[in-house]
Amino acid sequence: MAFEWEKAVSLKSFLKKNPLPETPGVYFFLDEQKSILYIGKATSLRDRVKSYFIQDIATTRGPKIELMMGKIASIGYRKTDSVLEALLLESELIKKYQPMHNSDAKDDKSYNQIVITKEPYPRVLIVRGRDIEQGKFSFPVKYMYGPFPSGSGLKEALKIVRKLFPFRDKCAPYEELSEKQKTKAKPCFSAQIGLCPGVCMAEVSAKDYARSINHIRLFFEGRKSALVRQLTKEMKAAAKGQYFERASEIKGTLFGIQHIQDMALIKDDIRELSRHRIEAYDVAHLGGSASVGVMTVVENGRPNPSEYRQFKLRGEHNGNDLSALDEILKRRLQHPEWTLPELIVVDGAKLQFGVAEQALLGSELTIPIIGVVKNERHQPERLIGPEALRERFKREILLANNEAHRFAITFHRKRRGKEFLSA
């Protein structure tokens, strides 16, 4: 087999002196048979891989990662010139090898893809895989790259690529406009700021635009050397033909490729390392009527209301909070497109804890659970669940639980009011 990594070091060698370079790249966790357990990208290969080998790995990265760490026999790596290239290469390799512990990036339907459409002037767009699968994406697809689990990272990546190779996304080609529309046509906003080559004003031919799309393809496919060779050839041809302005533009693009400024992606990489997502669940009803459930999210110590979810309960629970919680958790776990948490919080003691355990077991997931036990005044009295997590994330756990209680009451009152008005 031809290995994807440039070099591989034994786990013993890594732990002794960490010989990995301080450069961007992609790393591979390998078992005894050199099978790939996990593929990841890094701003600094040395620092990123080192971050896995800490004493409280289960607390900081979760039990799934801890399980993987027990299987690692060696570490492979491939250097890249930028974090952007590492991000694109990571996605390509995960899709190719489907490593067991890259579950977050396996589902093509749930995550974002980069799409190049099949049109005379192709669009370059970010599209959710599920929209393509369900026929919600209305344009014919010619090339597709991904999946990319990080939506924010992908948007930043495409911004960088677009500065190097301007492309069309929304504007209509000039030749597709009616004669009346042509008289009123003006450059789209992207063209005005240099991110679209002027498709909307016929400022670029279909042939030249196709050449630019091919450049983008080579970059997305990780064929940087071929891209540089092609651009160098085009630059020399332009200079020989005395098209000096075009030659200068290509020279600037070549410089940009070799000196990619991807600070936004570096920041995203740092955020990924420190991310802690906690989900809390609660139920609200009045004597079994107007039953609702909610999910709230605390990320990096702060509530993230954009990730909150409401559930109108479908089952006949008759005030049974346990069966209501079971329904909520099972419905939530039917959404693989929602980021999985590092910790789940339920309102209650052993019975609620057990319901959550069974729901996770049915989905073949291993996520730690914390139960918030309340006193007769409905105030938190104690926490049950893994001690290390209770201590480390006590503030965030209580915050998530309090948010869930507040959100559930608000949603219940709203629904009860609607039912009263419709009665």
Which residue spans of the chain are classified as CATH 3.40.1440.10? 7-104
Q: What is the pLDDT of residues 84-117, one digit of tens each?
A: 888 889 888 988 888 888 765 445 556 788 999 9
pTM score, whole prediction? 0.59
The pLDDT-based confidence of 299 (bands split at 50, 70, 90) is: confident
Which residue spans of the chain are classified as CATH 3.30.420.340? 275-422
CATH topology of domain 7-104: GIY-YIG endonuclease (3.40.1440)
The pLDDT-based confidence of 285 (bands split at 50, 70, 90) is: confident
Instruction: Give residues with Cβ within 8 angstroms of 248, minimum separation 6.
Output: none
**What is the overall mean pLDDT for the chain?**
85
The pLDDT value recorded for residue 232 is 94
Give one word for 190, left, alpha or beta, with left for phi > 0 and alpha for psi -120 to 50.
Answer: alpha
In this structure, what are the phi and psi dihedrals at residue 361, rounded to the nearest 5 degrees? -60, -40
The pLDDT value recorded for residue 87 is 87
CATH topology of domain 275-422: Nucleotidyltransferase; domain 5 (3.30.420)
Q: What is the pLDDT of residues 170-212, one digit of tens each?
A: 899 999 999 999 999 999 999 999 999 999 999 999 999 999 9
Residue pair 94/102 in contact (Cβ under 8 Å)? The answer is: yes
